[in-house]
Amino acid sequence: MKKTSAPQRNRIWDLDERLWAGSAALHFTSDGAARCWICRTPPSPALLVFPDKKQSETFCSDWETLFPGEEISLLHEIPLTPHGVVDRALPVQRGQTLARWSGEGGILAASSGSLMGPVSRGTTETVIAAGRDYPRDRLLDWLVHAGYERSDIVWAPGQFVFRGYILDVFDPSYAHPLRFEFFDDSVESIRSFSPKTQASVGLLDEISLHSLSGSREASLFDFIPEDAVSVHFDRVRASASAETCAML
């Protein structure tokens, strides 16, 4: 009599539902890129929690190498300073990251510290479309009052630079900064680009710029979908890191 082989289970999502319901602790003998392999193609939004920033960033880097066509989001940590949160763009960026993950699904990689930081939602925005007129002086004034910082080069969220007929803006709502090319006061083109290479990433017809100064604080739990699942790597260290962040 021919035996029927048991189904191969090489993803963490293939484990028995009773293990998920009981919040079981599992031990894996591998780390590194093997973590990405067992977490591939989640059936619902998945939150992966790591003990520190380095591990969450390494996971994302490995994921993009192994699965270039599958989206992954990284929840950035907010640097701790004696003056609290100095960069207003980071809480907004974190809020937009959570909103995209909540709406689109996939994997969100986070460290214990990143889960403890503040999150904000933008409340005001201005819409810019290619082919329409926008007085550059008025747009510059809006950016300043919206909390953006003028810089020599755009490399971080919340910065902008105006050079002649080219405006670069890094709205924290988006993964890449935006480049607006003007002819007089008419917007000829809108592109997203890489701040490292300055190469164009995509061409856009219309985009919304979000204010940083009018943002309001939100709760992390507002963004977590009901069907989301969470996986904690090295839970003991992750819990210790969270306790340290809570004390600071």
C-alpha 169, offset from chain centre: 17
Question: Hey, which of 18-27, 190-199, 216-225, 237-246 has the most confident mean pLDDT?
Answer: 190-199
Q: What percent of the chain has pLDDT over 70?
A: 81
**pLDDT, tens digit, for every residue of 33-49?**
889 999 999 989 999 99
68, 81 in Cβ contact below 8 A? Answer: no
**pLDDT, tens digit, for every residue of 148-197?**
999 999 988 899 999 989 999 999 888 899 999 999 999 999 999 998 88
For residue 175, what are the CA distances in angstroms to 86, 100, 130?
A: 21, 11, 20
What's the pTM value of the predicted model, to 2 decimals? 0.70
Q: Provide the pLDDT confidence category of residue 92 given band limits of 50, 70 and 90.
A: confident
Centre a 10 Å sphere on the Cβ of residue 111 and count the other Cβ atoms it contains: 26
Question: Hey, which of 3-7, 19-23, 54-58 has the most confident mean pLDDT?
Answer: 54-58
Q: Token match 């925005």: residue?
A: 125
72, 57 in Cβ contact below 8 A? Answer: no
End-to-end CA distance of the chain: 65
Mean pLDDT of 123-140: 89
* pLDDT at residue 82 in the model: 55
H or E segment to which residue 143 belongs? helix 136-145
Burial class for 205, CB neighbours closer than 10 Å (0-12, 13-18, 19+):
exposed
* pLDDT at residue 246 in the model: 55
pLDDT score of 1 more than 60: no
* pLDDT at residue 86 in the model: 58
106, 48 in Cβ contact below 8 A? Answer: no
The tokens of 235 are what?
């839970």
Mean pLDDT of the chain: 84
**pLDDT, tens digit, for every residue of 198-215?**
899 899 999 989 888 866
Domains of the chain: 12-19+29-121+217-247 (3.40.50.300), 125-210 (3.30.2060.10)
